[in-house]
Structure 1
Amino acid sequence: MGTERLKQTLRQDVQGMHAYAIQPSAGFIKLDAMENPFVLPPELQHALGERLGRAAINRYPAQRVADLAAALTAHVQLPAGQRLMLGNGSDELIDLLAVACDVPGATILAPVPGFVMYAMSAQLRGLNFVGVTLTADFQLDEAAMLAAIEQHRPAITYIAYPNNPTANLFDDAVIEKIVAAIGKQNGLVVFDEAYQPFSARTWLPRLGAHDHVLVLRTLSKFGLAGVRLGYLCGPTALIDEIDKVRPPYNVSVLNAEAGLFALEHAGEYARQAALLKEERTRLMAALSDVPGVQVFPSEANMVLVRVPDSKRTFEGMKQRGVLVKHVAGLHPLLQNCLRLTVGAPEENIVMIRALKESL
């Protein structure tokens, strides 16, 4: 397509932005994207294959998607008066929230560094984005958050719980003040619990205490990153409104069937999550003993570390066949930081050795 045509037909801000970066991973031990490293046991693979083969791919997926929503509602023990809606991953739900809340002059607010899709969805949907910098130890800056809420009156405030890429949970006492302040401004608070299977705390049982709080989750970290399923929970009347902007068949029948299958075998995924939490503890302990490596607290399936020269260490690990995420350029607070996904035991052994050799 000609350069002039591109200039005239595509939005200027889109032409100037960077696409979401996905690193080529073929041939590497892939520890850059917080994926569950475990595949299903062969007998479950066979059972899933047969089940997907029976799916009615000649029909629109309405009924099976409704079945999945009902199964998830039961699985997460959604409080009374709440409902959930499904998305093609939580990324789509972040976008749909921006669509639903795109009133003139609306703002989305979130702590930074945080998940990049909050700002990207705001930009693409024409909302303002305000990022409030965390403290040096990656906690919420209470005064700065409350001042920004007062000044900008955000339509949506995201609290990643735990946060990405820092992996920590924020202080609940500060969060409570933020929730109250947003309530007074008639905005929404969205707790993004993408890493809930690995976290010590969840906000979901507290849904219903406030009529302006939503909880966003994904099945990606549950172990279904390739299936693309997210869900948004909140007061029924509120979800009913947001659901109006959802494409009618946004979740495929194959995704829904795979999701139902996973919930029926939730014990296997719980076993995998428990193993990953044990590996996280071992990984953090091993890295804490390495001179020059600072390890930050984690409630997710990732560990943030600071090294003397992150570029050198990242490239050295890559040369040794281990792919992690170099996050130093995302925000000044992340200077010389790498984000390591917690892998299978044998992967973590190789990662630790590669990191030590690459310092």
Structure 2
Amino acid sequence: MMPLPARILDLPPYTPVEPLDVLSARWGRPVDSLVKLDANENPYGPAPRVRQALAELPWVHIYPDPESRALRAALADFTGVPAEHLLAGAGADELIDLLLRVLLEPGDRAAFCSPTFGMYAFGARLNAGQELDIPRRADFSLDLPALQAVCAQQRPKVLFLANPNNPDGQLLGPEEIETLLALPTLVVLDEAYIEFSHSLSLGAARSCIQQVPQRDNLIVLRTFSKWAGLAGLRVGYGAFPGWLLPALWKAKQPYNVNAAASAAALASLEERVLLGERVGQICAERERLRQALSAFPGLEPLPSAANFILCRVSARPAAELYQVLLERGILVRRYAAPRLQNYLRISVGRPQDSRALLDALEELL
């Protein structure tokens, strides 16, 4: 038996959410009785054209295009970024891992600002890097002076920032982004939720993706998981500066975007008007839900530019409230990290999902 590297033995596992069928079996409840508000999925699912494309999918016995040419051409039209700057992946998670594999030598630093998406720290450690955490302020805003000081002193290879941030939903302002891009590091803006920051236009006006070809130190990641309802198919993409792309193309898995995911993404781009309307519905429901949550004593929902709401809980322990909601078939996200122990994150669902949650809270609080 061969010894494993210490970085793998000591690696804290990433804790994913579980699918509905597993939860249904565990709790002895029908799937359709569960209210799933724990993973920021799109409650409306994919567009009708996606289901048709999957039903009629040809050539599943043939390997997919290793360069995702049709998808990248459609993404160029969607984003306004030339296809030669775009790379598709099996979700943005694959692109995070790919980027870290290419960039990091053992001991190199990858920076992030907690609390945030856990894959940045996970990927850094997995790829033999050092995690460099510059914590956010108490209101979850960035501590820009600390970022400037740490980046100047410790020179991380890369800085990951979710925009809007997960779990609090804050969106960076233009001046903050300019300050970040003046740092001596490669900046990755993970725009997984950007479409919900600008409703019907699918986030185009708030995204930084069109700046990438003109900047050597900016990467923007996007995904179809949220706005297009394709979380189960794992398809994302990124815009990368020209100097980095040859290395990424060499290092990526050759057939990383499968045929079904590619067909679904292409069909989603053809249905962007319908999907934009659904994004608008989710944004409107987010505001209705936040207002309703704020009426409960002991709940403090934070403003959000994403499809979720982070809610501070003081009426009773957040872990206890999470558990009693779970026993009623309502799933929200709780955290073990000390900074977030008094918070629950609630994904925005359909109006009937919000009603089920609010009815339960009225009974419990």
TM-score by length of structure 1 reads: 0.90
- Residue pair 2:170, 2:305 contacting (<8 A) in 1 also: yes
For 2:202, the equivalent position in structure 1 comes to none
Q: Which moved more, 1:279-288 or 1:208-217?
A: 208-217
- Residue pair 1:159, 1:192 contacting (<8 A) in 2 also: yes
Task: Please tell me the root mean square deviation across aligned C-alpha atoms, in Å.
Answer: 2.0
Matching of residues 202-221 of structure 1 within 5 Å: 202-221=207-226
1:172 positional shift:
3.3
1:242 positional shift:
2.1
For 2:189, the equivalent position in structure 1 comes to 191
Distance 1:137 1:171 in 2: 15
For 2:357, the equivalent position in structure 1 comes to 351
Give the partner amino acid of 2:160: Y
Give the partner amino acid of 1:196: I
1:175 positional shift:
3.0
1:126 positional shift:
0.4
Matching of residues 1-359 of structure 1 within 5 Å: 5=1, 8-24=2-18, 25-26=23-24, 27=31, 28-40=34-46, 44=49, 47-52=52-57, 55-62=58-65, 65-78=68-81, 83-182=85-184, 187-200=185-198, 201-222=206-227, 223-308=229-314, 309-327=317-335, 329-332=336-339, 334-359=340-365
Give the partner amino acid of 1:62: D
Cα separation, partners in 2 of 1:46 and 1:170, compared to 1, 3 Å: closer
Cα separation, partners in 2 of 1:212 and 1:335, compared to 1, 3 Å: same
1:209 positional shift:
4.1
- Residue pair 2:113, 2:134 contacting (<8 A) in 1 also: yes
Distance 1:350 1:241 in 2: 49
Distance 1:251 1:147 in 2: 39
The count of corresponding residues between Structure 1 and Structure 2 is 343
Tell me, what secondary structure is at the counterpart of 1:207? Answer: helix
- Residue pair 1:108, 1:154 contacting (<8 A) in 2 also: yes
- Residue pair 1:81, 1:235 contacting (<8 A) in 2 also: no
Tell me, what secondary structure is at the counterpart of 1:166? Answer: coil
CA deviation vs aligned residue, 1:337-357 (integer Å, no higher than 9, x gap): 000000011111111222343
TM-score by length of structure 2 reads: 0.88
1:46 positional shift:
5.5
- Residue pair 2:86, 2:240 contacting (<8 A) in 1 also: yes
Tell me, what secondary structure is at the counterpart of 1:38? Answer: coil
- Residue pair 2:54, 2:260 contacting (<8 A) in 1 also: no
Cα separation, partners in 2 of 1:15 and 1:354, compared to 1, 3 Å: farther
CA deviation vs aligned residue, 1:236-262 (integer Å, no higher than 9, x gap): 332233222111111111211111111
Give the partner amino acid of 2:152: E
- Residue pair 1:32, 1:340 contacting (<8 A) in 2 also: yes
1:235 positional shift:
2.3
Distance 1:13 1:103 in 2: 14
Cα separation, partners in 2 of 1:12 and 1:112, compared to 1, 3 Å: same
Give the partner amino acid of 1:314: Y
Distance 1:136 1:97 in 2: 30
Tell me, what secondary structure is at the counterpart of 2:70? Answer: helix
Structure 2: state its 5+ residue gaps. Answer: 25-30, 199-205
Identity level (%): 35
- Residue pair 2:75, 2:83 contacting (<8 A) in 1 also: no
Tell me, what secondary structure is at the counterpart of 1:221? Answer: coil
- Residue pair 2:50, 2:267 contacting (<8 A) in 1 also: no
Cα separation, partners in 2 of 1:330 and 1:82, compared to 1, 3 Å: farther
- Residue pair 2:169, 2:308 contacting (<8 A) in 1 also: yes
Distance 1:72 1:178 in 2: 26
Distance 2:118 2:50 in 1: 34
Give the partner amino acid of 1:266: R
Structure 1: state its 5+ residue gaps. Answer: none
- Residue pair 1:306, 1:335 contacting (<8 A) in 2 also: no
Distance 2:254 2:241 in 1: 21
Distance 1:120 1:279 in 2: 32
CA deviation vs aligned residue, 1:200-236 (integer Å, no higher than 9, x gap): 4221233344221010111101211011011110223
